[in-house]
Amino acid sequence: MVKIKDCRRRLGPGVDFYCESFDAPAGVQMALWGPSGCGKSTMLNLISGLLRADSGIIEVDGVETQKLRNGQLDRFRGERFGFVFQTFNLLGPFTAIQNVMLGMRFSDTRPHHEWKPRAKELLERVGLGNRMHSKPATLSVGERQRVAIARALANNQKIVVADEPTGSLDPKTAHSVMDLLLELCGEEKMTLLLVTHDAGIASRLPERFDCTGLAREVES
């Protein structure tokens, strides 16, 4: 599903990201783990097309993403990837159901009339059937992350990328959010790439990729 070969990206003066090889088969649940600053988030951004590589090959679902033009890459990202962030990244002016629908609105993978039923279904699955019309500011952090998970799954994306999804949660909530994420991705047969620095969290996933040393100092 995701392959990387000889991928290089300049991160700043004297700092480069370099990944010689990476392979995540379809449907895998894999932790990209390592210490802070090791380059694991950069790798996730390169895979999802939020960043472009300076050189090398990134292949997602059979498509070499570096060959896509900007607009094509935006569309491709919306269709293939679901995002779960550490800080939830919900849009403040919109309600929970609208946030989930926005995921479908921009990816354009479903007809308009399916947006609302699909959003309702997902919010009920993450246990927020009674908070659909609440705005993010009125939800607890755990509830916000559940909305973000529902949004990430809205388009039946092939890949869910989660960047420290439990980083802002207390241990109990973090545990339940992880359970939910793993369960739903398993049910939907989605590839899950989860960035974490927490070895405990990483151990809960069947596959792990050690990102230590991906970001390194080089002679400028």
Partner 1 sequence: MTLWHIAWNYLWNRKLTTGLTILSVALGVGLITAVLILRDETERRFVEEGQAFDIAVGAEGSTQQLVLSTVYFIGQPAGNIPYEIYEQLQKDEDVERAFPIGLGDSFRGFRLVGTSADMLQYDWVNRITGEPRNTFRLVEDGNGRYFEKPFEAVLGSAVAQQTGLQVGDTFVSTHGLMDLEGAEAHEDMPYTVVGILRPSGTPNDRAVFCDLASIWHAHEHEYGTASLTGADTSTEADVDEHAAEEGDEHAGEHHEHAEGEAHAEEHHEHHDREVTSVLLVLKSPGLRFQFMPRVAEKYPDVIAAIPVDEIQKLYRDLLGTARQVLLAIGYLVVVISSISILIGLYLSIVQRKRDLAIMRALGAAAGEIFGAVLIEAFWVTLLGIGAGWFVGTGLTYGLGAYLSERYGFSITAFRPSPDMVSAYSAVLLMGMVAGIVPAWQAYRTDIARDLSDV
- Which residues bind to partner 1, rule: CB under 8 A? 41, 45, 48, 50-51, 70-71, 74-75, 77-79, 83, 85-87, 89-94, 98, 101-103, 105-108, 115, 151
36 vs 219, beta carbon nearer partner 1: 36
Count Cα atoms within 13 angstroms, Cβ side, for 10.
6
45 vs 173, beta carbon nearer partner 1: 45
3-state SS of the chain? CEEEEEEEEEEECCEEEEEEEEEECCCCEEEEECCCCCCHHHHHHHHHCCCCCCEEEEEECCEEHHHCCHHHHHHHHHHHEEEECCCCCCCCCCCHHHHHHHHHHHHCCCCHHHHHHHHHHHHHHCCCCCCCCCCHHHCCHHHHHHHHHHHHHCCCCCEEEEECCCCCCCHHHHHHHHHHHHHHHHHCCCEEEEEECCHHHHHCCCEEEECCCCEEECCC
61 vs 207, beta carbon nearer partner 1: 61
Q: Nearest approach, Cβ of 91 to partner 1 (angstroms)?
A: 5
Q: Nearest approach, Cβ of 33 to partner 1 (angstroms)?
A: 18
Q: Nearest approach, Cβ of 75 to partner 1 (angstroms)?
A: 6
Q: Nearest approach, Cβ of 9 to partner 1 (angstroms)?
A: 10
**Count of CB atoms within 10 A of residue 152's CB?**
27
161 vs 177, beta carbon nearer partner 1: 161
Q: Nearest approach, Cβ of 203 to partner 1 (angstroms)?
A: 26
102 vs 204, beta carbon nearer partner 1: 102
Q: Nearest approach, Cβ of 70 to partner 1 (angstroms)?
A: 7
54 vs 108, beta carbon nearer partner 1: 108
